[in-house]
Amino acid sequence: MIGIEIQNLTVQYPGVTAIDDLTLKLEGGKIYGLLGRNGSGKTTLLSLIAAFRRASTGSILVDGREPFENEELTQQICLVRETSDVVVDGDSVKGILRRARRFRPNWDDEFAQRLLDLFQLPSKRGVAKLSRGQKSALGITIGLASRAPLTMLDEAYLGLDAPSRYAFYDVLLEDYIEHPRTIVLSTHLIEEVGRLFEQVVIIDRGRLVVHEDTESLRMRGAAVVGPATAVDDFTAGLTVLGEQRLGGTKSVTVYGEIGPDARAVAADWGLELSPVALQDLFVHLTKGNAA
């Protein structure tokens, strides 16, 4: 299983530090969610891992090796971006798939056909005539049918409508279970895609903010629901992410671990504790830091 090891990586564009001294280790054989606000450096990071550019400061090792100009290794890596730049205008869907297959040792034709059917992609149509969502679906078809040991999808499914997105999540999980590999999904649709992540990586202004199991991250906050006064007493002094009130009942979302003693108190006071939405934690952890 292909793992990724990044050490003290810095990437500068004129006037912008896109990646800032980032150190991160991702074990192989997991599904990772890469989250960050606009301009936080996600695309830059994925491009470097996929060897589209060379790391000038710091190092990136994929499967223990430097990916840049390492053809044997880059055949094992597939990065699909939102703009579907795997797709060249002037060719048909079929033609693009034929071309993609040439560079992908693990390509599965049958699976590609299944995905075309699933997304209702017309295989003879010219790529220039595809809608935005159909172009996304084509990018995803290439990303999944490649079965690359390291598959990275950079917002690749944003153009899809809801039924196609849900179909994509299901087929991704099903195929990952049958053919385990390392998958990195960058996304803004946190709640929707969150159920797929085993681990979450949050970057902000090119720096690592969180790298944690999705479940432990969810446990870093809680929604406290119950009689308003009891909820207020219980959450006094805690970091409040949001609150809602309906009659005498209140729901307050807090950030911070709630230990066993506090949980016992909550139960005593008739309060209900439930995990926080990942999206709320993400907003809290990256707020006020727009790039």
Ligand X SMILES: Nc1ncnc2c1ncn2[C@@H]1O[C@H](COP(=O)(O)OP(=O)(O)OP(=O)(O)O)[C@@H](O)[C@H]1O
- Which residue ranges make up the site for ligand X (CB under 6 A)? 13, 16, 18, 36, 38-44, 291
Q: Which is nearer to ligand X, 205 or 250 (CB)?
A: 205
Q: Which is nearer to ligand X, 32 or 234 (CB)?
A: 32
Tokens of 56: 């000038």
In the bound complex, what is the minimum distance in angstroms from residue 124's beta carbon to ligand X? 32
In the bound complex, what is the minimum distance in angstroms from residue 43's beta carbon to ligand X? 3
DSSP result, 84-97: -TT--TTSBHHHHH
Q: Which is nearer to ligand X, 149 or 206 (CB)?
A: 206
In the bound complex, what is the minimum distance in angstroms from residue 261's beta carbon to ligand X? 40
Sheet with strand 249-255: strands edge to edge = 239-246, 249-255, 221-227, 272-274
In the bound complex, what is the minimum distance in angstroms from residue 289's beta carbon to ligand X? 12
In the bound complex, what is the minimum distance in angstroms from residue 227's beta carbon to ligand X? 41
Q: Which is nearer to ligand X, 228 or 291 (CB)?
A: 291
In the bound complex, what is the minimum distance in angstroms from residue 153's beta carbon to ligand X? 13
Q: Are 257 and 212 in contact (CB under 8 A)?
A: no
Handedness of CA 188, 131, 91, 123 (dihedral sign): positive
Q: Which is nearer to ligand X, 203 or 254 (CB)?
A: 203
Tokens of 220: 């870093």
Q: Which is nearer to ligand X, 224 or 281 (CB)?
A: 281
CA–CA separation, 114 and 121 (whole Å): 10
Classify each residue of 113-134 as buried b or exposed e, where b means 16 or more C-beta atoms within 10 Å of its C-beta. ebbbebbebeeeeebeebeebb
Contacts of 260 (CB under 8 A, 6+ apart): none
Query: Among 200, 215, 212, 211, which Cα is nearest to 275's?
Result: 215
